[in-house]
Structure formats: C-alpha cells, structure tokens
Amino acid sequence: MSDDTDLSAPAPTGHACIQSYLRTLGAGPGVYRMLDAQARVLYVGKARNLRARVSSYARPTGHSARIARMIRETASMMFLTTRTETEALLLEQNLIKQLKPKYNVLLRDDKSFPNILLPKGHPFPQIKKHRGAKTEKGAYFGPFASAGAVNRTLNQLQKAFLLRNCSDPMFDSRTRPCLLYQIKRCSGPCVGLISEDDYAASLRDAERFLSGRSTKVQEDLAAEMQEASDAMEFERAAALRDRIRALTQVQTAQGINPRGVAEADVIALHMDSGQACVQVFFIRANQNWGNHDYYPRVGSDVGAPEVMEAFLGQFYDNKEPPRQLILSDGIENADLMTQALSEKAGRKVEILVPQRGEKAELVSGALRNARESLARRMAESATQAKLLRGLAEAFDLDAPPQRIEVYDNSHIQGTNAVGGMIVAGPDGFMKNSYRKFNIRGDDLTPGDDFGMMKEVLTRRFTRLQKEDPDRDRGLWPDLLLIDGGAGQVSAVAEIMAQHGVEDIPMVGVAKGVDRDAGKEEFYRPGQRPFALRHNDPVLYFIQRLRDEAHRFAIGTHRAKRAKAVGATPLDEVPGVGAARKRALLAHFGSAKAVTRANLADLKAVDGISDALAEKIHAFFNDG
C-alpha cells in the first residue's frame, strides 16, 4: 500500500494556511485568532459570518500592508463560535485585552477610575473616595478622571457640608473633636456636636449637589444665611457664606458644565504619523468631572473608525458605560456596539457623533485636547529617542536600548530589606513593568548590599529564562543600570555569568567625589571607570533613572516597614483574623500577654471558641 502524503513537508503558512480552514467553518458568528509558527497570537477578530470573514484573508491581494504582513506570518488559526454577533464583539475585546495581539489596536493603559461614596448603614456616614468594585452599600458619584480630582472635590465638600472623612474605628474611639472640627471641615458628630437629623440633612444636600441639583442647594443655603443675618447670628451667617463659597469653587474647578448633557462620556480621537491619542471627558450630573488621555497602539494604515471601535470595546470592558457616548468619529458597527453596551449596562446607551450644537462644542474641546496631548507626547518621544541614542554612544552599545532596567536596594541596618527594579524605554518610564523583591536570604549578613543585589538578580534572570527563554517577548533588558560601583558591578557580572547571560551590557552608577550629584562615575566589567560632562543631557537622564529607582525602592521599603510595625505574633496563628485579633488584644492588653495566657483565660474571650482557644494555646506552648 502506498502513501503519497509527505509527512516531512512543512506546514502551510499565509494564504494557504488560512485556505485550509475554510471547508470546516460554518456561516455563524464567532471569534477567530491568527497565530504564528510559535503559537503566539497575532490577531483577534470577530465576524457575523466566520466563513465569509476568513475567506477574505485567503485572497492573495487587496490587503493593506499591515494585514498582508499578518497573513504572511499566520501559521495556524483558532475559532470560537457564539450565539450572536454581540457575544462575539464582547468576547473579541476580552481576548484582545488578555492576549495583547501584535496586529490589533490595543488600549495599553486601562485603569479603574475613582468615585465618591456616601455609605449607608451608619448614623453618621463618612464621605470618602472609592475605587474598584461597588460592593459597599451607598450612593456612588463618578467616575472622576483622577484621584486628584476626587480629593479636590472632597476637600471643598467638607467645607460646604461638614461631613466626616475619618474611618469608623477612629470615629468610635474619639473622646474630643479632632483638628478638622477646629478648622471648620467637620461638624463633630463623633462627640455629639451635631444631631443625627441635622447630619442627615447635610448628607442629603451633598447628594443633591453631586446629583447636579446644585442651584437648589445654594438657594437654600443663601436663604439660611439671610435668616441668620436678620437674626444677628453673624457667626452662623459667616459659616453659611463659607459653605456657599466652597460650592462655587467646586463648580469653578469642574470647568465647563454643559446644560444639555446630563450624563455622557465625550470621546475624541486624533491621529498623526501612525500614533493616536484618545481624550475622554466625564460628564455626570451636568458637571464636568475631569478628563483622561489614552494612547492606543495603532498602525500607520489603521483608520479612525477601527481605532474608535476598538477603544470603546476595550475601555468599557470593565467599566459601566454612561447613558450617552459622544464621539468625534463614527464607528463601523455602531448598532452592534450600542446593543452590546446597553446589555452590559442594563439600560439604553446611545452613541452619538454630533455635527452642531452644544454636544459638537464638547467634542471640539476634547479634540483640541487630544491634538495638543499627542503633540506633547510626540515631542517627548523625540527627546527620549535622542537621549537613548546618546546613552548608546556613551556606553558603546550596538543600538539605542529599548528596555533599560535599573536596580536599587533599600533597608535600615538590614531590616525590612527590599530590592526595586524600574524600567524605562522609548516612551519613558514603564511603570506597569516595575517589580519589587522582598529579600529572603536567611544567610545574608544584615546590610550586605552585594548579597542583596545577587539575590535580586538571581531571581530576576531565573524568572526571565523560565518565562521568555527565546527572548522574543520583549521582557529582556537591553541595558542594566546598577546603583553602585566596582563591587556591585562585579557581583552582578558573577550572577549573569552563572546564568549564561553575558551579552547584556551592564553599568554601575556611583556617586563621585564627596558623593556629589553631577560627578557620577560609571563602571563597566573589565573597564576603567569614566565620567560624563557635568552638563551632558545624558548624565541628567541617567540621574533621573537612578533617582526613580531609589524613590521606588525607598517607597517599597517604607510600606513594608509600616506593615511590620503593626504586625504581632497573632498574625501567624491559623484561624485568627482581624476581628479575633482585636478581641484578644482588647481582652489581654498586648500580644505578649496572649502568648502567655493559660487555656482557661483564652476560652473566656468573647468570640473565641474552645477549639480555637486550644489551637492558640498549642501554637504558643509546645506540648
């Protein structure tokens, strides 16, 4: 029996590979993935008709340069069918965010936004900033564009409504008013200086103001101020005047407050030279609550409708959409996106591209901001590229580095030791790539900086060799900067040699004479130290990198130290959480007293069962 199949022939790629899938594909909706020879995802797309969409890639002509490159690299495909095209759209955006394919438009910075929360369930609720899932009962107002915008608004709301911002445990423990009461930022509910009804009235006013009914609140306060003035209660009248002024300052800080737009996100896109900026303005309760800019990864041949549609799908993947999305550019699948976002929100969501009127003016303002932001970013990128070229010249590198890793350690006499790694590249600091290392070496001498650096680099390169052995995912550095001189450099060189990594340039940055900033000396393995000119821009660039690493390591160390200050031996006992820990400390007075307590006393503590008391006693008393 003969077999004509050549098993040694390479698997087809490109058009031939895509063509081979067509006979097994159905005509229903779904999501497809294109993968290269190493099974890395190149592109994720959705389709109303999978067979029709995939067949368009099987044609040898008629593609843009970007799509043609993607097709040439395709070695396999994966498919997921869905019941509806809306499901396919949502699944597509989820997969893009998870897999970050090379040829998709990608939203690179997608954080959550803060809100203001007025909780329920407490007679004197705290007004506070909230970020994340809305699990706590209460009224949420937002999103605000930044934590700074929330803090400014909270600051003025405290002046206007005198609501407390202290935590519940602090509120319960107060025996006299705090400083905020003295400077007229709080009404002192913790010590009974305001009744529950009066505090509830102030809370309702705050809710009305944040809901957009600010005019009515100010009218009521103005009437109260006039009554106080007529009754010659001038101190009360002055306090009300200050509250009105605080509300006015909030409105002023919010900038343009549209009259005809109650709840919307205004989204404007500007593209130039293969780069894009998306500016988002948050309009809630007829008030402008700030803006945020994004720089999605795009190609030179990607159109505005595709960028805008990809941005909407990824941006609202983990956020609740408002009632209106006011866009600068239309999208191809507006009906589909509207349906998907409406289902997600559980109510109607409109997508508008206004041509005239107030909404068009809002888009024009957002578009101006997007244009200016992209111009600034492109100028900064050009400056960064020049500095990277200068760095390559100074350290004799083959090419400007695309990923610089800078390391520093922080400790106090060896305690709470941490190592910090910051990363920089063509777009500046890459903060999502920063890493901290809790120093675990039990055999290290306290304060042994060489040993700490060895541990950090050992763990770093061990992980790199495990996660990216082929160095094709962009995780490996092109340059290492170490805070230290010849000793640190030799320690790092030893570690790199042990891991077989001797092709990555590494430079030690040490303070010069009298540790004077500006006289840094640079150390490289096997070479004499040297210095740069005092006014060299590359020197300032290296100083910024080193200072950022120092700031990150110090901050991480302080956080670890602060956590350790509140630690007790009870933290190690299985089954003892925060509430039981508080009960034990309240009963015995200290953690040391708990460790010495007998079994009968432990059983007498409220909330501690007999079984848990035996477990605690056994933990601190061997046998």
Backbone angles phi, psi at 327, to 5 degrees: -110, 155
Judgement on whether residues 512 and 580 belong to the same structural domain of the protein = no
* Closest to 252 measured CA to CA, from 288, 282, 279: 288
Residue range 202-238, pLDDT digits in tens: 888 888 878 766 566 667 777 778 877 777 877 777 7
CA dihedral sign, ordered 59, 62, 67, 73:
positive
Mean pLDDT (the chain) is 84
* Closest to 86 measured CA to CA, from 319, 313, 311, 321: 313
Of 299 and 383, more confident: 383
pTM over 0.75: no
Residue 513 domain flag = yes
Residue 258 domain flag = no
Judgement on whether residues 557 and 408 belong to the same structural domain of the protein = yes
pLDDT at 30 over 90: yes
Three-class SS of 379-407: HHHHHHHHHHHHHHHHCCCCCCCCCEEEE
Residue 1 domain flag = no
Residue 404 near residue 313, CB atoms below 8 Å: no
Quick count: other Cβ atoms within 10 Å of Cβ 590?
11
Residue 582 near residue 605, CB atoms below 8 Å: no
How many alpha carbons lie under 13 Å from residue 586 in its C-beta half-sphere?
Answer: 11
Judgement on whether residues 455 and 313 belong to the same structural domain of the protein = no
Cβ within 8 Å of residue 565, ≥6 positions away: none
Q: Which two tokens stand for residue 478?
A: 């092109």
Q: Determine the structural domain holding residue 603 and report its residue range.
A: 569-620
Band of residue 1 on the pLDDT scale cut at 50, 70, 90: very low
Residue 431 domain flag = yes
Residue 125 near residue 118, CB atoms below 8 Å: yes
What does the pLDDT read at residue 223? 77
* Closest to 267 measured CA to CA, from 286, 254, 281, 256: 281
Q: Determine the angle formed by the axes of helices 147-161 and 196-210, rounding to 10 degrees.
A: 140
Q: What percent of the chain has pLDDT over 70?
A: 89
What does the pLDDT read at residue 255? 47
Pairing mode, strands 275-284 and 287-294: antiparallel
Residue range 113-151, pLDDT digits in tens: 888 998 888 899 999 998 888 888 888 988 888 888 888
Q: End of a domain among 563, 582, 597?
A: 563
- Segment 394-419 shows an average pLDDT of 83
Cα(26)–Cα(596) distance, integer angstroms? 72
What does the pLDDT read at residue 224? 76
pLDDT at 337 over 90: yes
Band of residue 325 on the pLDDT scale cut at 50, 70, 90: very high
Using the CB atoms, write b or e for 450-462: b if 16+ within 10 Å.
bbbbbbbbbbbbe
Residue 2 domain flag = no
Quick count: other Cβ atoms within 10 Å of Cβ 568?
16
Judgement on whether residues 432 and 548 belong to the same structural domain of the protein = yes
Judgement on whether residues 274 and 418 belong to the same structural domain of the protein = no
Judgement on whether residues 347 and 421 belong to the same structural domain of the protein = no
Instruction: Tell me how far CA of residue 405 lies from CA of 90, 425, 477, 560, 612, in angstroms.
Output: 36, 9, 6, 22, 48
What does the pLDDT read at residue 4? 47
Residue 417 near residue 409, CB atoms below 8 Å: yes
Judgement on whether residues 93 and 127 belong to the same structural domain of the protein = no
Residue range 516-533, pLDDT digits in tens: 556 788 998 888 888 888
Q: Which two tokens stand for residue 324?
A: 């209106």
- Segment 401-422 shows an average pLDDT of 81
pLDDT at 50 over 80: yes
Residue 135 domain flag = yes
How many alpha carbons lie under 13 Å from residue 385 in its C-beta half-sphere?
Answer: 6
User: What's the CATH number where 577 sits?
Assistant: 1.10.150.20
Q: Where are the alpha helices (DSSP H) in 254-351?
A: 304-315, 334-345
How many alpha carbons lie under 13 Å from residue 50 in its C-beta half-sphere?
Answer: 25
Q: End of a domain among 563, 578, 603?
A: 563
Q: Which two tokens stand for residue 526?
A: 């096997």
Residue range 245-255, pLDDT digits in tens: 766 665 554 44
Using the CB atoms, write b or e for 184-198: b if 16+ within 10 Å.
ebbbbbbeeebeeee
Cα(180)–Cα(185) distance, integer angstroms? 5
Judgement on whether residues 557 and 575 belong to the same structural domain of the protein = no
- The structural domain count of the chain equals 5
Cα(593)–Cα(587) distance, integer angstroms? 10
Judgement on whether residues 278 and 324 belong to the same structural domain of the protein = yes
Q: End of a domain among 329, 357, 376?
A: 376
- Beta strand segments in 273-332, E: 275-284, 287-294, 324-327
Band of residue 54 on the pLDDT scale cut at 50, 70, 90: very high
What does the pLDDT read at residue 2? 43
Backbone angles phi, psi at 30, to 5 degrees: 170, -170
Q: Where are the alpha helices (DSSP H) in 174-303?
A: 179-182, 196-210, 214-230, 234-253
Backbone angles phi, psi at 60, to 5 degrees: -80, -15
Judgement on whether residues 423 and 311 belong to the same structural domain of the protein = no
pLDDT at 156 over 80: no
User: What's the CATH number where 308 sits?
Assistant: 3.30.420.340
Cα(309)–Cα(332) distance, integer angstroms? 7
User: What's the CATH number where 76 sits?
Assistant: 3.40.1440.10
How many alpha carbons lie under 13 Å from residue 193 in its C-beta half-sphere?
Answer: 17
Residue 288 near residue 262, CB atoms below 8 Å: no
Judgement on whether residues 130 and 232 belong to the same structural domain of the protein = yes
Judgement on whether residues 370 and 514 belong to the same structural domain of the protein = no
